[in-house]
Every structure is written in structure tokens, then in C-alpha cells.
Amino acid sequence: MDTLLLVSSTLLPIITIIIFHHFFTGKTAIPGSYGWPIIGESIDYFKKLRSGTNERFAMQRRKLFGDVFKTSILGEKMAFLCGPEGNKFLFSNENKLVEVWWPSSVESIIKKSNNKSVTAESAKVRQLLPPFLRAHAVKNYISDMDSELRQHLEDYWTGRDQVEVCPFVAKYTFALAVKLLLGVRDGTELEKLAKPFVDAAGGIIAVPINIPGTRFNRGVKASKRIREVINGIIAQRRKDLADGTADPSQNLLSHMIVEVDKRNQDTTNAPTTDGDMSSDLLGLLIGGYDTINTTVVFIMMMLVDYPDVYQEVLKEQTAIAKEKSTGELLTWDDLRKMKYSWNVACEVLRMRPPTVGAFRVAKTDFTYGGYTIPKGWKLHYLPHYTQRNHEFFPHPEKFDPTRFEGAGPAPYTFVPFGGGARMCPGNEYARAEILVFMYNIITRYNWQRLIPDEKVVIDPLPRPVHGLPIKLIPHKTQA
């Protein structure tokens, strides 16, 4: 009896404090698990990433811990704020409570001079982009996109009975990005950039183990080779700008050189080197290539699997083609008419998000959902969580472009391009290139899969394991 009284008298004050703290000061300890020492829960995270079920990582933990939970990925303490409310909070508090953060793998691939942080420098890069990637600027790229694609089809598709979609699409999207961003058309320069590009892109979200043979090690070596090529292009462009044979408004690289030189006159800040610019441009190439390439490939895959959707897209695109004279290139107004086609593209983006999401870091302690997120903690949002969730998209496994008719999905549930201040600056560019591709392919061809049950792998982004080989069926009349 004395023992029971002693235990009771010891525990009662502790229990009282816990109850008072819970009901009157709010919950502060974030539920969840850090997993194993050092590696945390990285193995499970990457396992689900590779299997294309990223959303399950969050769904399983949300079921156990609620809408806010802690974990440890890539050696970082990390919080997930689940659902559209979490997305809205992160997007609306950019540069207030949170700011962009990248894993060390990104810092190593997109390497800066003098140990500058890619995270800290990204805001400067974004300031240079609006003149070239906003809607008013993208309007001027439509004819270039269209003529480039027509030439690509003539060179690599016309006269063929069969093509492997993945490498052909990759070749076009990469060549167009290099042309519009860097102003490079020379085939030799393109080849120098293209060969190591896939390895560099793959290293971005690899486990940062830098030993020979690893994906990360290959990515680091490839990025170095690409930066050396871009450095040479920058040096030549400087000469062209100096002698008047290049125009600063022609492409992003020329614009960057002029603006960076102006900024470097301010000696209070560390100067931006040509090496820094080459890293910035590499990052932009990777970002644009991944989104567009992945989306276009899966549009072609889905249109085979859903012939009724293909027929609706064909009907819309044929109506546009009939209004144009032979050889007339597409315009911005033409793209605005492609409403159903864009709904199809959005449904592909919903089902197959082309990125793993994004990361943020807490700039200060803040409270969300009754929990305190400590300064320095990382936060991660997955577009997969809301976009493949039956709570927000009924029957999420069903391909249904009509979800995007009218008002479309609820706010902050469809977030393939992020949102708020960190909305992907290239979203209009991506939209234009995707629609130009759909118009040109669909007004020329129908197609059939040569491997009907071809599997999809995540390596590191989703792709058909055999590259989506198809049989081309040309229309009797072409646009």
C-alpha cells in the first residue's frame, strides 16, 4: 500500500503537467518516427519512389499519425504537412516561414563557385526568368516549337512503320530546350550536351553516395562535363555580344550574361561567375526536360489505352488544322483552343507527376496543426499524395480528363507545378510545348503499342521499361 501511494504521489504531478500542456499549451511534439539511425526512413521512401507509389509513403504514416508527421530522409529531420491545407500553407508562406531547400545531391550536381548554396542562389536565377518564360514571352516561341517539331518528325518519324517513343521525344525536347534557352543549334554542341545529360538528371534525386559505379557518382561526373561545355558556349557568346553579332533578347543565356554583368558591378555581393551561370542553366535544362519529356511520353501511352479520348483530341485538333493553310505554323491563339487536349495532359500530370515534389526548410519556429515545426527542419510536399488520393479525386486510378472541366479540381489538390511564389516559372513553356507536340502527332498519326503490357519503371522518373515502341498508323490526309 505504501508503495502504491509513493508511485501515485510521484506520477500524479507529472500526469497533471502533461494534461495541462496538452489542453492549454497545444501539442508540440510532432508524431512520427525517425526510423533507423543515420539512414532514417530513406530506404522505404526510395523503395516507394522506385515503384511509383510515392503517395503510399505519406498515406501510411498519415493513417498512423495524422495530417502532420515527422520522419527522417536523406539524413534530415523532416515534417510532412499532408493534404491541400498543407500545400496551401507551404506555398503561401514561401520566403516568410519557409524557403526552398534542396538535398545535398542537388548541391553537388548543380555546383556553385566558392561554396555558394544552390538554395540561396536560386532566387537570383528566378529573377532573370520572367522575360523568357512567362506567357507573353512564350507566345513568341510557339512558331519555333512548331517548326522544330515538324523538322524532327520529318527527320525521325516520316517513312517509319515503327518508332521507340522515349528516345525520340527526349531528343526533340532536349534539342528545343537547348535552342531556346542557350541559343545553340550546332549539332556537335548538342551532342556534347546530350550524351552526359541523362546521367546528370538521374543524379539529382539519387542517394548521395559518391563512389564509382553509383548513380550519384555518374551524375556528378556528367554534370561536370556539361558545365564545361556550357562554359565554352558562354565564352563565345560574350564575344558575340561584344561585337554585336548576338542580341541580349534572343535567348535566356544572352540575357543572363548582360544582367549578371550589371549585377556584378555591385561589389557588396559575391560575384556570379560563368561557372555559376552554367550550373543555373543546367538546372533549368533538367527541370524543363523532365516535366515535358515524361508528360508527352505518357500522353502517347494513355491515348493508346483510351481510344475514345484519342478520338476527342483528334476531333479538337483537326478542327484547328482545318482553319490553317498548308504549312502555316501554330499560334498562341491556336493553343488557347486546345481545351480538351490540355485536360488530357492535366490528367496525365495528375496520374504521373513528373517530379518527386519539392522541399522547404523552416526559416523560424512556427506552429501548424497544433504542432511546432522547429527552425531548420525540412518539409516535403508530394503532389502524388493529393493527386492520387480518393479523398480529392474519386477513383484516382481511373483516367478521366473530364475532372478538369469547369472549375476543375479543388484548390491545392492538383499541384504538378507547385504553387504560390514558387510556382514553376516554366509552366507556361511546358504547357505550350506539350500542346504543340499533341497537335503535330495526333493530326498525323494514330498508333498501336508493340508491347501491350509494357511495365513502367521509376528510374529516377517514370518511363516505360522498353521505351514505348509503337506502330505508326498515318492518317490518309495530314495537316
What's the grid cell of residue 238?
560574350
Looking up cell 558575340 gives: 240
Q: 296 with 288: CB under 8 angstroms?
A: no
Residue 352 contacts residue 462 (beta carbons within 8 Å): yes
CA distance 382 to 143: 34
Grid coordinates representing 213 are: 559505379
338-360: b (≥16 Cβ within 10 Å) or e: bebbbbbbbbbbbbbbbbbbbbb
Distance, in Å, from the CA atom of 173 to the CA atom of 165, rounded to the nearest integer, reads 12
Across 265-300, b (16+ Cβ under 10 Å) vs e yields eeeeeeebbbbbbbbbbbbbbbbbbbbbbbbbbbbb
Give exposure, 370-380, as e/b (b: 16+ Cβ within 10 Å).
ebbbeeebbbb
Joined grid coordinates for residue 253? 543565356
Find cell 507556361 and name the residue: 428
* Burial per residue of 53-77, b for 16 or more beta-carbon CB atoms within 10 angstroms, e otherwise: ebbbbbbebbeebbebbbbbbbebb
The DSSP code for 29 is S
Taking 3-state DSSP, the helix, strand and coil percentages for the chain, each rounded to the nearest 5, stand at 55, 10, 30
Supply 250's cell numbers. Answer: 534572343
Residue 212 has a CB neighbour count (10 Å cut-off) of 7
* CA 479 – CA 477 distance, rounded (Å): 7
The reply, when asked if residue 346 is annotated as ligand binding, is: no
All 3 cell numbers of residue 362? 523552416
Give the three cell numbers for residue 63: 493513417
| Under 8 Å between Cβ of 369 and 67 | yes
Separation between Cα atoms, residue 392 and residue 382, nearest integer Å: 14
Q: Which amino acid is at 63?
A: K
Residue type at 316? E
DSSP single-letter state for residue 188: H
Number of H helices, E strands in the chain: 19, 12
DSSP string, 194-230: HHHHHHHHHHTTS----STTSHHHHHHHHHHHHHHHH
Residues marked as binding? Answer: 424
As annotated, the binding site for heme includes 424
